[in-house]
Chains A and B, each alone.
Chain A
Amino acid sequence: MNLRTIEKSTWVYLAIAFLLFVVPFLVTGRSIQFLIIQIFVFGIFAMSYDLLLGYTGIISFGHVMFFGVGAYSTAVLFDRFEPTIFTFGLAILVSAIIAGVVSFIVGILTLRLKSHFYAMLTLALAGLFLVGAEKWRKVTGGSDGFTFGLPDMLRDSFTLYMLSALSLVLLFFGLRRMTKSPFGKVLVAIRENESRTESLGYQVLHYKVIVSVVSGVVASYSGVLYILSLRFVDTSVFATDLTIDVLLMTIIGGVGTLIGPIIGASLIEFAHHWLSDLSDVHWLFERWIILYGTIFILIVVFFPKGIVGTLADRYIRWRARRTE
């Protein structure tokens, strides 16, 4: 019954994915490629956030800590070891392990409590990571940060583009399958009605902990990619601003979908880019937060379910009217 529509959307996504791999042959400018890489990176980060917020209904105010863990693990490893592909693999592994352990512990501690405990603890922990990165100067270089070398392969913006695009596409399809699995369906049930999910016999805590670990690990991977594209790390990778960015990306794009966060990431990253160009034109454009706030209010008013959610609603209504 539903099979046909699902297949259709898969074809559409595959076509878009294919286009992503064609783009770098057409768009060769380094700075624009860099911008698109940022979109991919934050697309992954925002998808991981939406697993919590949109699918399971868990609010995190410290998601950036996983991003930062990925970023610092990678930077420090490249700084200490030979910049080889092997080090890169090790960086992915180390950040996944740290992120996994941290998210597991945070989850076990707070996810059995009311939802704001998770929000608070993640906020506090992210703050702790930030302070840690500032104080542990020997390893992190403090707030000055440090640059590091990359293997030759990863220096090239084309390769980096392809790596990020491939990561985004694979994670998108992987997470999409997860959200459509029996497990994923229970996540949505928890979001909808937690106590009812329990009385159906599901162990809600297990689901929340598992999804927070998956989300943390994916977020750490986006931090890895991010820092590869910068080749420089400082404490800003632990800044709460990034959690707010990713929250906005998810809400603007549409919670409870995976394509929504990616669209949200594109919009916000493009906005960042253009607005910083415009700051020469008028000082107002330097005042990020004003514009952000304005855009955010407009979106919430005109697209209450995010861009994807609202468009999907309209489409369904339009189809219903046509079949009447």
Chain B
Amino acid sequence: MLETKDLTIQFGGHTAVDHVTVDIAEKQLTSIIGPNGAGKTTFFNLLSGQLSPTEGEIYFRGENITSMSTTKRSRLGIGRSFQITNVFPNLTVLENVRLAVQSKRNVRYQMMAHFLHYKKFQEEAYALLEKVLLDKKADTIAANLAHGEKRKLEIAMLLALDSEILLLDEPTAGMALEEVPAIIEVIEHIKARKEQTIVLIEHKMDMIMDLSDEVLVLFHGELLAQGTPEDIIANDIVQSAYLGGMYNERLS
């Protein structure tokens, strides 16, 4: 449903994403793996419109969205979370999520009513915070959250948009180990509902293996391999280029 054709972006002389052609399947969980600097986040930035490509196209449900703004893509159904936490720092956790809910509910230019008139938004936001185990921090200012908590807030904001495609950029990075299962559970739950398409960037191989229907391997901006988790593990090129080294490094 989300296709790229020869998608390429260069920063100066450096090609961060190099002629990537993929078709991300609907209602599946597709993971993107690759070493640091492989271009995974940049690929997401291209998909969600933060960056525009130097070459190539992006299609969503057959429609060319290559030059569409971030706002439009978000309304069209492409939602994302950010690897480097990207929230509203001086607002409360609840307000951060409430803003996302408000957008999904299409209440955009109402300036006469008090925001608490829409009590449901507040409740919905709170329910999402419960889901990511952040409800106790609802009234905390987002800037004062611990790193792992900010990651959860990112996820809650993404879930609030309830978009067709969820682009998750390392949702569990920097989280305390005991917090990770809750987030995995949230992702598993979405997957089980089979209503949304998930694209997941992760370094935790066990998580990739458990969750993914399909795995894409990026290496120096190029699509090195694509297949089921089993295929990828068995793939010699992937092993030598990336996995072997990283598997050990991450496990130790």
Binding site for B on A (CB under 8 A): 1-3, 6, 177-178, 180-186, 188-189, 192-193, 195-204, 206, 210
User: Inside 8 A of A181's CB, which chain B residues have their CB?
Assistant: 110-115
User: Inside 8 A of B161's CB, which chain A residues have their CB?
Assistant: 200-201
Stretch of B13-21, B80-88, B178-186, B221-229 with 4 or more beta carbons under 8 angstroms from chain A: B80-88
User: Interface size (B, Cβ < 8 Å)?
Assistant: 37
- Decide: A3 near B115, CB < 8 A? Known: A196-B88, A198-B70, A201-B103: no
Q: Which of B83-140 contact A (CB under 8 A)?
A: 86-91, 95, 98-100, 102-104, 107-116, 118, 122
Are B88 and A195 neighbours in the complex by a CB distance under 8 Å?
Answer: no
| B104 nearest CB across to chain A (Å) | 8
User: Inside 8 A of B87's CB, which chain A residues have their CB?
Assistant: 193, 196
- Decide: A199 near B88, CB < 8 A? Known: A182-B102, A183-B110, A183-B111: no
Q: CA A198 – CA B86 in complex, angstroms?
A: 12
Q: CA A196 – CA B87 in complex, angstroms?
A: 7
Are A200 and B74 neighbours in the complex by a CB distance under 8 Å?
Answer: yes
* B75 contacts partner chain A, Cβ-Cβ < 8 Å: yes
Q: CA A6 – CA B50 in complex, angstroms?
A: 38
- Decide: A182 near B100, CB < 8 A? Known: A177-B114, A201-B74: no
Are B115 and A185 neighbours in the complex by a CB distance under 8 Å?
Answer: yes
User: Inside 8 A of A177's CB, which chain B residues have their CB?
Assistant: 111-112, 114
User: Inside 8 A of B114's CB, which chain A residues have their CB?
Assistant: 6, 177, 180-181
User: Inside 8 A of B111's CB, which chain A residues have their CB?
Assistant: 177-178, 181-184
Are A200 and B103 neighbours in the complex by a CB distance under 8 Å?
Answer: yes
20 contacts between A and B (CB under 8 A): A181-B111, A181-B112, A181-B115, A182-B111, A182-B118, A189-B88, A192-B90, A193-B87, A193-B89, A195-B70, A195-B86, A197-B99, A199-B48, A199-B49, A199-B79, A199-B86, A200-B100, A202-B71, A203-B71, A204-B71
Map CB proximity to A onto B34-75 as digits: 1 under 8 Å, 0 otherwise.
Answer: 000000000000001110000000000000000001110011
Q: CA A196 – CA B80 in complex, angstroms?
A: 10
* Residue in chain B with minimal CB distance to A210: B109
* Residue in chain A with minimal CB distance to B111: A183
* B157 contacts partner chain A, Cβ-Cβ < 8 Å: yes
User: Inside 8 A of A196's CB, which chain B residues have their CB?
Assistant: 86-88
Are B88 and A186 neighbours in the complex by a CB distance under 8 Å?
Answer: no
Are B102 and A193 neighbours in the complex by a CB distance under 8 Å?
Answer: no
* Residue in chain B with minimal CB distance to A1: B122
User: Inside 8 A of A186's CB, which chain B residues have their CB?
Assistant: 99, 102, 108
| A116 nearest CB across to chain B (Å) | 22
Q: CA A198 – CA B102 in complex, angstroms?
A: 13
| B137 nearest CB across to chain A (Å) | 15
Q: CA A189 – CA B79 in complex, angstroms?
A: 17
User: Inside 8 A of B107's CB, which chain A residues have their CB?
Assistant: 182
Are B69 and A200 neighbours in the complex by a CB distance under 8 Å?
Answer: no
A-B contacts besides A192-B88, A193-B87, A196-B88, 8 pairs, CB < 8 Å: A1-B122, A182-B111, A183-B109, A195-B86, A199-B71, A200-B103, A201-B161, A202-B71
- Decide: A192 near B89, CB < 8 A? Known: A182-B107, A184-B111: yes
| B86 nearest CB across to chain A (Å) | 5
User: Inside 8 A of A200's CB, which chain B residues have their CB?
Assistant: 74, 99-100, 103, 157, 161
Are A185 and B99 neighbours in the complex by a CB distance under 8 Å?
Answer: yes
* Residue in chain A with minimal CB distance to B99: A189
Are B116 and A199 neighbours in the complex by a CB distance under 8 Å?
Answer: no
| B156 nearest CB across to chain A (Å) | 12
Are A182 and B90 neighbours in the complex by a CB distance under 8 Å?
Answer: no
User: Inside 8 A of B91's CB, which chain A residues have their CB?
Assistant: 188-189, 192
Q: CA A196 – CA B110 in complex, angstroms?
A: 20
Q: Which of B157-180 contact A (CB under 8 A)?
A: 157, 161
Question: Which of B70, B118, B122, B157 has the largest number of chain A CB atoms within 10 A?
Answer: B70
- Decide: A182 near B71, CB < 8 A? Known: A192-B88, A193-B87, A202-B108: no
Are A182 and B50 neighbours in the complex by a CB distance under 8 Å?
Answer: no
| B121 nearest CB across to chain A (Å) | 8
Are A198 and B69 neighbours in the complex by a CB distance under 8 Å?
Answer: yes
Q: CA A185 – CA B108 in complex, angstroms?
A: 10
* Residue in chain A with minimal CB distance to B112: A181
Q: CA A297 – CA B47 in complex, angstroms?
A: 47
Are B99 and A193 neighbours in the complex by a CB distance under 8 Å?
Answer: no
User: Inside 8 A of A197's CB, which chain B residues have their CB?
Assistant: 99
* Residue in chain B with minimal CB distance to A201: B74
User: Inside 8 A of A188's CB, which chain B residues have their CB?
Assistant: 88, 91
* Residue in chain B with minimal CB distance to A196: B86
User: Inside 8 A of A195's CB, which chain B residues have their CB?
Assistant: 50, 70, 86
- Decide: A182 near B88, CB < 8 A? Known: A195-B50, A200-B161: no
Q: CA A320 – CA B69 in complex, angstroms?
A: 43
| A155 nearest CB across to chain B (Å) | 36
Q: CA A186 – CA B80 in complex, angstroms?
A: 19
* Residue in chain A with minimal CB distance to B95: A185
